[in-house]
């Protein structure tokens, strides 16, 4: 089914009502003022799902949960430039607004979609604000992607202040990010519940990610090894010890010349400090692997 071009939509100021496949009450907002005016005139609870678009089943599970638990749902689609540590990665990030709108419409046609420009979020100064996260942003993803979490925190706080939701929904695939967002809410004294939602996986275990679209068929066949490695490491940890679990994952990726292990870490789930070899504490394993020029991450509760 072919979507109608944006030029054929019906325009009303800063709100676009999509014709053809979209009922007239599906609204796409480009400007914060128009979105905020609509939210002011609404009643009940607001659920918010921030995304960078290229929606997949992981995103749709968040939108479905938000729809089930709130009177009104806002989904933002914004590829945030300040969280990319490499310009080429930003340029290659998939953008498919028409397809994303079609996906959202099928879930809940009354969803409000906020797809601002970079200028609408950042004005004329595209830079991150400064945050202190007690070291949460300095390890794993933070160590590998300098400034990444400062950029994430900046855009999430700005979106939170625009939408002012009661509840916001994030996937646990980005578990480190989830902890940092909870820190933002606490530090800024925002009255927002942040809900972490389970990872949605492909049939072979690969965590759903917008970046998966960039994998070649050969790379896609290899990518499932991340989840298999996590599952095997969990079994080794439970039946043997932490050191052997770490050694297993390290050896596994040393044997594959096409995959580069960035990190594998078994950590305390709340502080992200490296776990001790004690089965009773609440811990989670995290992994990041580079497959060609595509970086994949995953995690699993132990």
For residue 208, the 8-state DSSP code is P
Using only C-alpha atoms, the chain has a radius of gyration, in whole angstroms, of 20
Please tell me whether residues 169 and 264 are part of one structural domain: no
Residue carrying the six token digits 């625009």: 162
Please tell me whether residues 113 and 240 are part of one structural domain: no
Please tell me whether residues 157 and 254 are part of one structural domain: no
Average pLDDT over the chain, rounded to an integer: 91
Set 56, 59, 102, 148: catalytic member: 59
Please tell me whether residues 57 and 168 are part of one structural domain: yes
**Residues spanned by the domain of 183:** 6-197
Please tell me whether residues 168 and 190 are part of one structural domain: yes
Q: Is residue 188 part of a domain?
A: yes
Q: Is residue 108 part of a domain?
A: yes
Q: For the chain, how many residues are written?
A: 302
Please tell me whether residues 70 and 146 are part of one structural domain: yes
Please tell me whether residues 90 and 162 are part of one structural domain: yes
Q: What CA–CA distance (Å, rounded) separates 15 from 26?
A: 10
pLDDT-derived band of residue 46, with 50, 70 and 90 as boundaries? Answer: very high
Please classify residue 249 by burial: count the beta carbons closer than 10 Å to its beta carbon, then call 0-12 exposed, 13-18 middle and 19+ buried. Answer: buried
Inform me whether the pLDDT recorded for 2 exceeds 60: no
Ramachandran sector of residue 88 (left: φ over 0; alpha: ψ -120 to 50; beta: rest): alpha
Give mean pLDDT, residues 48-53: 98
The pLDDT tens digits of the residues spanning 230-258 come to 999 999 999 999 999 999 999 999 988 89
For residue 198, the 8-state DSSP code is P
Please tell me whether residues 155 and 252 are part of one structural domain: no
Q: Is residue 204 part of a domain?
A: no
pLDDT-derived band of residue 18, with 50, 70 and 90 as boundaries? Answer: very low
- CATH number where 145 lies: 3.40.50.620
Q: Percentage of the chain surpassing pLDDT 70?
A: 91
The pLDDT tens digits of the residues spanning 217-236 come to 999 999 999 999 999 999 99
Contact at 8 Å (CB) between 117 and 76?
no
Please tell me whether residues 183 and 278 are part of one structural domain: no
Q: What pLDDT, on a 0 to 100 scale, did the predictor assign at position 25?
A: 54
The pLDDT tens digits of the residues spanning 66-96 come to 999 999 999 999 999 999 988 888 998 999 9
Residue where one domain finishes, among candidates 197, 221, 248: 197
| 68 given a catalytic annotation | no
Considering its fold, how many domains does the chain have in total?
Answer: 2
Locate the DSSP E strands across 120-272: 167-171, 193-197, 259-268
pLDDT-derived band of residue 26, with 50, 70 and 90 as boundaries? Answer: confident
Please tell me whether residues 79 and 165 are part of one structural domain: yes
pLDDT-derived band of residue 214, with 50, 70 and 90 as boundaries? Answer: very high
Q: Looking at per-residue confidence, does 119 or 255 come out higher?
A: 119
Please tell me whether residues 142 and 236 are part of one structural domain: no
Please tell me whether residues 188 and 138 are part of one structural domain: yes
- CATH number where 225 lies: 3.30.1300.10
């Amino acid at each position: 089914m072919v979507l109608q071009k944006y030029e054929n939509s019906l325009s009303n100021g800063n709100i676009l009502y999509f014709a053809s496949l979209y009922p007239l009450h599906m609204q796409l907002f480009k400007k914060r003022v128009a979105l905020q005016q609509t939210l002011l005139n609404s009643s009940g609870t607001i659920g918010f799902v921030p995304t960078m678009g290229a929606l997949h089943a992981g995103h749709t599970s968040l939108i479905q949960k938000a729809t089930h638990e709130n009177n009104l749902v806002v989904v933002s689609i914004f590829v945030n430039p300040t969280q990319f540590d490499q310009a080429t990665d930003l340029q290659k990030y998939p953008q498919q607004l028409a397809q994303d709108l079609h996906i959202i419409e099928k879930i809940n046609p009354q969803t409000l979609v906020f797809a601002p420009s970079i200028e609408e979020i950042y004005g004329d100064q595209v830079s991150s604000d400064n945050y202190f996260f007690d070291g949460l942003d300095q390890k794993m993803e933070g160590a590998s992607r300098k400034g990444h979490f400062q950029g994430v925190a900046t855009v999430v706080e700005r979106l939170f202040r625009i939408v002012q939701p009661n509840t916001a929904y994030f996937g646990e695939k980005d578990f480190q990010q989830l902890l940092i967002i909870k820190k933002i809410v606490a530090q800024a004294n925002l009255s927002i519940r942040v809900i972490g939602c389970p990872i949605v996986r492909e049939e072979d275990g690969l965590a759903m990610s917008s970046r998966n679209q960039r994998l070649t068929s050969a790379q896609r066949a290899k990518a499932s090894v991340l989840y298999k490695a996590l599952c095997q490491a969990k079994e080794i940890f439970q039946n043997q010890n932490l050191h052997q679990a770490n050694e297993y994952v390290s050896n596994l990726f040393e044997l594959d010349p096409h995959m580069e292990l960035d990190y594998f870490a078994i950590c305390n789930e709340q502080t992200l400090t490296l776990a001790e070899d004690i089965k009773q504490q609440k811990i989670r394993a995290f992994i990041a692997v580079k497959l060609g020029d595509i970086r994949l991450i995953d995690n699993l509760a132990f």
